[in-house]
Every structure is written in structure tokens, then in C-alpha cells.
Chains A and B, each alone.
Chain A
């Protein structure tokens, strides 16, 4: 059938020829109509506006006085008399800056360790000659379905002597089974011939991992690193459970500020709500590192996602 059909069609033309002919160009290379271009532009502008407006409003509100915030129903877009009072307040005393440094360190160290452990285990689980490999894979996958509850985790951390220690914020979440599966799938799809060739040349597993696999896996490692990094940056629950307030990360400080603006319960208020500018300023401070880092990782992120999409 294929042969008969192929003999029936006209001789193949190059894309350039087809473009020149105009009516046979591929659809993605056609020049869009002006109306389509306008619609696309409008759609993109709306999407950008929807993404940028909340961030801009948060920034603008953080630069406003309480009076202006109240006059604008809680959200200022263009402050008439911008002030840095909110930032002066949160940076005075050093609670927010200390928490910011703690969060950065936890995120950097935690992400590094998580990537190392995930990559090492994922690589190990791709080796067909690994004794008990299937068992360990199932063990890891089991945690995706059945995670330990709060109390068993608390008991484990306590028994390991990690209470009020930064390790308590890293070790319990050191490896995510989901990320392990992503990285392992990526490794599994690498050509086996590469590994065989390297082994014939006398390379050991460690050398293969470091010198061959990792350079080919920048995309997936960036993606997984981003998952871990964002996870560590935003995590507050373990800090609430295991840490005293003098060791809280920024996410927990942010939570303390924001909770004061939440809907009232039935209780009589203990204190007056702090300025909304302060709450917004803490949000801005917590966003800055992510906003700075994301553009550098984005190209890897896109690449990693695409790779995963094609190779499954």
C-alpha cells in the first residue's frame, strides 16, 4: 500500500520550494493573517498582564502607607507617595534578614544533597546487575502512595536527635520518589551502547555517572533541582513542628505575618492587624530569590520538560 501510494504522488519538493509555491507550505510556516496576529498579540498581552499585575500590585502595596492602602481597599497599584517604611520595619532587628539567609542556606544545601542522592539512586536503579534493585525501586515508589503521618515523622526526627536542628528540615524530605522516577526514566532512555563502550574502555560506574551521564543530563537535573529548590524554599510545616522560632526559615516568618490578616475566627482578637504594607513587603522579600534564579534555570527547565515529553 505504501509503495503504491507513494508512486501516485508528485515528486517530493523541498520546504523552500513549497514555501516559494505558497499554497503548499506547512501550516506552521504560513504567514499569519493580520487579524490572527492581532488576536495573538492581545491574548499574549492579557496573559502577561494577568501574570504581572498581582506581582506589581504586591510590590506597589508594599511601598504604600496604611492610609493609602485603606483608601484603595487593600490593593494599591500606583502609590502616590511611595515609602520604604515597611521594608525598614521588617529589616530592623534582623529577624527577616536572618531568616532569609537561613532559607537560602537550607535551599542551596538541601537541593544539592537531594540532587546528589536522587541522581545516585536513580543511576543505581538503572543498572540491571544491581542486586535487589527492584526491591529498592518498589520501596521508593511505596512512599509515593503511603507517606508517613505527622506523628511518626515527628517521632523519627525526635529519636534521631534532630529536633531544633537544620537537618530536620532537610533529611526527612531529602529524596522525592517522584523526582527519582523522573531521573531514572531519563537515565533508562540513554543509549545502552554508551555505557557498554565506557565499560569496555575501563570506566567504573562512578566515572560513567560523573563524566558521561551527568553532562548529558543537565536538563533533567535542572528540572528536578528546581522542584527540590522550590520545595525547600516554600516549606514551613517541618519548621513549625521541629524548630524553635529563632531558627525559623523565611517561609515560616512570612506565614506569621500573613496569618494575622486571615479571616477572623470567633475569638476576640489578641492584637491589631499589622500594616498590610508589611505583609506585602515580606512577600516581596521572599519572592526575590526565586525571581532572580528562575530565568537562569528556565532554559534547562524547558529542555528538561521537552526531553521528558518526547521520551516518556
Chain B
């Protein structure tokens, strides 16, 4: 949801969403309107909804504290497991679901002891249709057009352009079940803080369940070994943009095949944070300004163009695939990249892969500084990875589905969390002497059933293999989240933006890329921005402003 928004640009998913709109309009509209009075597209403000009352867990001691603002708790070891769900939520029911899967599919249910154990605890079956995020829009919209809706449906923020109409026609209003104190029937869902629920509100109603992330995707990563060599222990120590330029210059040595920067699409996020570019939109007195209309955005492009011209980027790196970027970073070709903070931990995360490639290398999250010596401004762009909509069902079935979601949202530290994430003890993992679950060799494909993309608890920072990794990541969140700004339009709805936003923004993105790479000029970028306003940008703005005022 929040994660898919950025100042400009069209991702493949966004492209598919535009393409799929045609299919949905042609084949799905009839089905949608057939369910009741057709709802006109309308701008919508989420804040009027009755959000679920937050009831945090008590008695779960962490090694590094979390905060009410969303800084996650950190754990060096897994707490003593406790049972968070006493009663099986399903009565032999089969629940159907469609969601994302990242990576290879899990072992089939009949060969998967972890899957079987989860369903035993659930008291029923969950038939999950899971595809990669690249295929999701195609599959989801085909299913919608075919009138074949499952009980639980991932809303990745890109697959359904006319989201309000779809929600009202096909999805259950969860406000009567979860709003306010009603959520107390589902204590694991109630332990998800309010900030994550704001994304789930559309047209004044609670329409979906959040899948929380740690609020910010961060500003990127750097090779701490390289920076230490040029006298920088922490990027937050860098004084301003001129000091940063000097550091980048020292880090670059093309004859030794080393560059300071090199990332897909120039990795501009860290520069946006340094120059305090708004998170997609800026709101001031009810007036909205798109990020690329601001001076900060233009300053970033000019600065990046200077870095590119002076040879501080790996030539051509803006077109890298992610694998190419990862290889360049791990191999020591680039000192800094932009990738999301979730890529720091885990078996193939940077915290382990850099020292794995070269024992002297250390990876660290980039902590931004202000370009003018002031504070940086990060983006709260990873609040929820997506939300999950529930199909309209009778109350009894809905309660079962919500019970299932409550089970899947079992918090870190619970037996259920262990089962969902690590599988069956003795088969998929063993507890080591420190009380940490250590996955067995064959566990991976038993535990990749995408439960966590149907419902999930608030995340924590945990890495049983490295205390340093936990410290570094927790420290990064502690510094980045307080600097974070939200996208003021995140929970608002603009019909024009939903249907044409990406198409309208693409020329601006192209012009920015051209300006950085020296194929275009800042004046051409300004012209593209003026065209955006004229061709529909101002309509998008007025729709968001109206929704904000509502």
C-alpha cells in the first residue's frame, strides 16, 4: 500500500493495473453494478472511520524497546513461547484466499507438515492461490471478471484501480466487526497499532486488514568498511551536501573498479531524504503539492545530475536489474545503494552477504543528514505492504475468516508465530541452547506458505544469528522513523490518480532520468511538470483536496 507510492515513475505492477482496468471495466463492471446501486467514483477521506481500539500485549519483554510511534521492538533471542489463540477459529470450514508469494512456492499441502500443522490448529482448510506480485494484477482481475472471488483477497494497491467501487460492491464492511471496542474479540488484531489501520479505511468504512511493516523503507545501505576508510563512521555524521560530495569523490576510483553510487533508477530515495522532498504529496492549509512540483525535488535532480556528470555513479547503473545492483554492492563495486530495509536481514540479506563475500566488508543502513546542515526528512513509505479485503459473506462465515486472521496475526513470541514462521519443532526447526529457533535444511519450502500475506502482526527486529544486526537495524528504525513524513493522500482516493496517475507521471519521471543522465535539461523537466498539471495533474490535486476537506 504505502510501499508502492513514490514521487514519480511507473512500476510494472502499476502498468499492469492500468492495463487491467480495461479488463475490469469491460467485464467486471456489470458484475459490480449488479450487486447494488452503482457507486459513482468519488474522492474519499479515510479519517472519519471508526478505527479499531489498540490494545498492546503485556508481558512480552524486549531487549530493545518499541515505541507507540511505531519504532519496532528488538529481540536478541526468541522469548519463551506462549499460546495466543486458545480455540480453533474454523469449524471444518474451507476458506479461500488469493495473495502474493515472493520466491519459490511451498511444498504441497500433502507433503508439508508445517502446513498441515497450521490447519490442524485452525480447525479447517485454507486454499491459497498465490502468485508473484508481477502476475497478481492479471490473475486477480481475471478472477474478478470471472466472478470467482475468494474469501480473502490481497489489495496490493495496484491491482484494483477503482478500489472504492470494488470495495462497496464486493467486500465486507468490517467496521461493525472491528471498529472501536469490537476488535476485542480478536486480541491479536487489536495489538496492531492505529497507524497501520488507517490504510485500511476507504469511503469512511473499515474495509480490510493491515499487513504491517516497519513504517519506513529506509534510505538505503552503505559499505561501512569503505566509508571508514575515508573517515566516515556513520553517514549521519556527514555535514551537508558539499561534505557528502567530497565523501563520494573519495569513494570513487574507476581504475580500481570502485564507485560511490550505483543503483537502479539512480537510487534517488536517499537524496530525496537528504533534500527533504515530500513523500509523494505535501499538504499545507488543505492545499496539496505533488513532490515533483517542489524546489526540493528539482534540487535533488540537479544534485544527482552533478554527481552523474562527475562520474560518481557507475556508468549505466540506472538501468541495472536488482541482481546486478546486489552483486555490485556485495562485490565492492559500489559503496552505497538504495534498497529497502527488509533486505538487511535474513540468510541472503546484506548484513550477512557482504561479510560472506569479503570478510572485511560490513553493511549498514544509510542514515540521512540534511543537505544544508539541518535535519533530513525520511518517508513513512512502508507502513503496510498491502491490505487484505474480505469478500461479503454471512456473519458466521465472516467471523470465521476474522478468527483465521486473528490466528495469523499472532504476535512475535507466541507459539502460533513460531508455527507459522518456523514450522514444526523437531522437523522444520530446533531450539538452540539460547532458546532461538534454528531452521533445518529442508524447512524453507515448508514455511513459505504465504500466511503472512493474509494477515500479520506488527513486526519486530529479530535476528538470532547476530546481535550486531539487531542493534544496527533497531538503531536505524529509531533514527529514521522520527524523521518520517507520511503521504497526506495515502488514505484519500482520487479517481483520476487511480486511473491515469501513473500514465500522467511517466513523462516527468522520464524527463528527470534524462536530466540526470545528461540527455535532457532541468528546463525540459519543468516543461514536463507543467504538462502534467495541464493534462490532469491539477484535476488529481483538486480531487485530493476535496477528499481531504471532506
Listed in ascending order, the chain A residues whose CB lies under 8 Å from chain B are 66-67, 69-74, 90, 92-96, 98, 149-151, 154-155, 158, 240-241, 244-248, 253, 255-257, 259-276, 279
Contact = CB atoms under 8 A, between A and B. Distances in A.
Most buried by A among B106, B108, B320: B108
B340 A265 contact: no
Interface of B: 3-6, 9, 11-14, 23, 26-27, 101-109, 111, 127-135, 138-139, 142-143, 145-146, 148, 213, 217-218, 264-265, 319-328, 330-333, 339-344, 346-350, 353, 356-358, 381-382, 385, 441-442, 444-446
Given A95-B107, A151-B23, A244 B129 contact: yes
Given A246-B108, A256-B101, A268 B323 contact: no
A154 B135 contact: no
Given A93-B445, A246-B105, A257-B104, A67 B357 contact: yes
Given A94-B107, A256-B104, A272 B350 contact: yes
Contact of A271 (B333, B343, B382): B343
Given A240-B135, A256-B104, A268 B382 contact: yes
A163 B444 CA distance: 28
Contacts of B127: 244
Given A73-B333, A92-B441, A276-B327, A271 B322 contact: no
Nearest to A258: B323
Can you list the 8 inter-chain pairs with the closest CB atoms, starting with the nearest? A265-B11, A268-B217, A268-B340, A245-B105, A246-B108, A70-B331, A261-B323, A93-B445
21 contacts: A67-B358, A70-B331, A90-B104, A92-B442, A150-B138, A151-B142, A155-B145, A240-B131, A240-B138, A241-B142, A245-B129, A263-B319, A265-B11, A266-B14, A268-B217, A269-B339, A270-B342, A272-B348, A272-B353, A273-B326, A273-B343
B385 A270 contact: yes
Contact of A253 (B105, B134, B319): B105
Contacts of A262: 12, 134, 321-322
B107 A259 contact: no
Contact of A265 (B4, B139, B358, B446): B4
Contacts of A158: 146, 148
Contacts of B349: 272
A245 B3 CA distance: 25
B132 A255 contact: yes
Contacts of B129: 244-245
A265 B6 CA distance: 10
Contacts of B101: 245, 256
B105 A263 contact: no
B13 A94 contact: no
Nearest to B132: A259
Contact of A70 (B142, B143, B330): B330
B353 A69 contact: no
Contacts of B321: 261-263
A248 to B, nearest CB: 6
